Amino acid sequence: MAEPHNTPVSGPTPRPSSPVDAPAQSGAPDRQPLAAPGEPRVVLHLGDPIRFNPDTHAALTSRFRVVRPSTPERQRPQFKQALAEGKWGDFEGIFRPFWTSGGEMGAWDADLINLLPPRVKVFASAGAGFDWVDTKHLGDRGIVYCNGGDAPADGVADFAECHEKAPGQSSNLRGQALGIVGMGKIGQRIAMRCHHGFGMKVHYFDVERKDARIEQESASTFHDSLQGLLGAVDCAVLCSPASTGAGALINASTLAQFRPGARFVNIARGALVDEDDLVAALDDGRISSVALDVHANEPHPHEGLKQLAARGRAMLTCHNAGGTVQAHAGFEELSMRNVMNVLSGGQPLSAVNLGHLKTGRKQSGAAKGLGEVKR
């Protein structure tokens, strides 16, 4: 999904409410001795101060000592040195409430993860994508990684709908076939909007077929292969997550499977598309038009796509599909609640790596016996 790349974050909303409901705590309490008697348990806060959910932040700080490194301290060399020296103590959780800050240290690879204190159990971040963090290696260390869940789903679905319509204005949408690659929360919202709002026929491909209720609500048809989906639709929307080191899902081979004159929308990750191959498919007419919110070399769009945009064949935006006020507030709320839940022995709300979680080391109740959380 698309996280905002350069969208300004507005100030606090005038209301204390949040788009993320406060969940009930679940699971057995954490009885593992995590800190010496009298010592507060520590949580690391990466990025800008809390803006939208002061009540949740007050609940967090009443139970944990929250340490927020400065911007210079978050630069990779300084950040690594501070971790190696134990500058912030034996902290147990990390949260990054905003996508627009807190990532100054760069990729969370093994080089960085191996410097974390042994007591760290949870890393909760804004954003739905997690190609910048090695979630498997976190799991190997017994650390639950939680993404931004469906906090930005409505905003991204709205954005995708505009992208889907814009390059296809010469055709009526009613009766056309829409293909969704990745039927997660965002894909489901797009399906509902486009079927019920525009009368489109919805098709989807996913590694897992969704249950009958989801298919019925969006009148969607499942395809068990990407190639089969692409050959059946007039417009394909890429919504699937990218993992670390993933190759291009849309390339010369898959572009050849599109219907002649089909349209393509990408709100997922630029790395999932071979942009040279995409430009070639546009030049030879296999693809009639594209709308892209994400790019392989952000913040620089492909030169060929820029030329096509000047001719009305491409709509290019700057990775800000999830940049709504509600999405930012939801990211912030969910990151704090994930940390509180896990460190209290409850279940994470939006974990993505439980399948990789090692059980050989001592863990809190949150990390034991949980199945993969569906997204």
Among 192-206, 275-289, 321-335, where is mean pLDDT lowest?
A: 321-335
* CA–CA dist 19, 35 (Å, integer): 33
Q: Determine the pLDDT at residue 99.
A: 81
Residue ranges of E strands in 1-143:
42-45, 65-67, 93-96, 122-125
Q: Determine the pLDDT at residue 368.
A: 36
* Res. 360: pLDDT tops 60: no
Nearest to 125 by CA among 3, 259, 29, 11: 3
* Res. 300: pLDDT tops 70: yes
Q: Determine the pLDDT at residue 284.
A: 94
Q: Per-residue pLDDT tens for 207-244?
A: 999 999 999 999 999 999 999 999 999 999 999 877 65
Q: In this structure, are residues 293 and 2 in contact, taking their beta carbons and an 8 Å threshold? A: yes
- pLDDT band at 299, cuts 50/70/90? confident
Q: In this structure, are residues 296 and 277 in contact, taking their beta carbons and an 8 Å threshold? A: no
* Res. 23: pLDDT tops 80: no
Q: Determine the pLDDT at residue 217.
A: 93
Q: Per-residue pLDDT tens for 330-346?
A: 889 999 999 999 999 99
Percent of the chain clearing pLDDT 70 (strictly above): 77
Strand partners, 178: 202, 235
Question: Phi/psi of residue 125, each to 5°?
Answer: -135, 155
* CA–CA dist 186, 209 (Å, integer): 15
Mean pLDDT of the chain: 82
Question: Phi/psi of residue 255, each to 5°?
Answer: -65, -30
Q: In this structure, are residues 175 and 200 in contact, taking their beta carbons and an 8 Å threshold? A: yes
* CA–CA dist 252, 370 (Å, integer): 40
Helix axes 325-343, 54-63, angle to 10 degrees: 20
Cite the DSSP H helix spans in the chain: 54-63, 76-85, 110-113, 135-140, 153-165, 185-192, 198, 212-218, 226-230, 252-255, 275-283, 303-310, 325-343
Region 19-46: mean pLDDT is: 57
Residue 102, amino acid: G
Q: Determine the pLDDT at residue 57.
A: 97
Q: Determine the pLDDT at residue 33.
A: 41
Residue 372: both structure tokens together: 């993969």
Region 263-269: mean pLDDT is: 91
- pLDDT band at 324, cuts 50/70/90? confident
* CA–CA dist 227, 183 (Å, integer): 16
Q: Bigger pLDDT: 371 or 136?
A: 136
Give the gyration radius of the chain's Cα atoms.
21
* Res. 3: pLDDT tops 80: no
Residue 198: both structure tokens together: 């525009």
* CA–CA dist 189, 208 (Å, integer): 17
Largest CA distance in the chain: 70
**Does the pTM exceed 0.85?**
no
* Res. 247: pLDDT tops 70: yes
Which segment, 105-119, 186-200, 241-255, 260-274, is predicted with the most confidence on average?
A: 105-119
* CA–CA dist 43, 158 (Å, integer): 35
* Res. 9: pLDDT tops 80: no
Q: Bigger pLDDT: 73 or 29?
A: 73
Region 270-274: mean pLDDT is: 94
Q: Determine the pLDDT at residue 198.
A: 87
* Res. 6: pLDDT tops 50: no
Residue 163, amino acid: H
* Res. 21: pLDDT tops 80: no
Among 44-58, 328-342, 356-370, where is mean pLDDT lowest?
A: 356-370
Residues contacting residue 44 through CB under 8 Å, at least 6 positions apart: 66, 67, 68, 69, 88, 91, 93, 94, 95
Q: Per-residue pLDDT tens for 152-205?
A: 455 555 555 554 555 545 567 889 999 999 998 889 989 998 999 889 999 999
3-class DSSP state for residue 133? strand
Contacts 24+ apart (CB under 8 A), 76-83: 76/104, 76/105, 76/106, 76/112, 79/104, 79/105, 79/112, 80/105, 80/111, 80/112, 80/115, 83/112, 83/115, 83/116
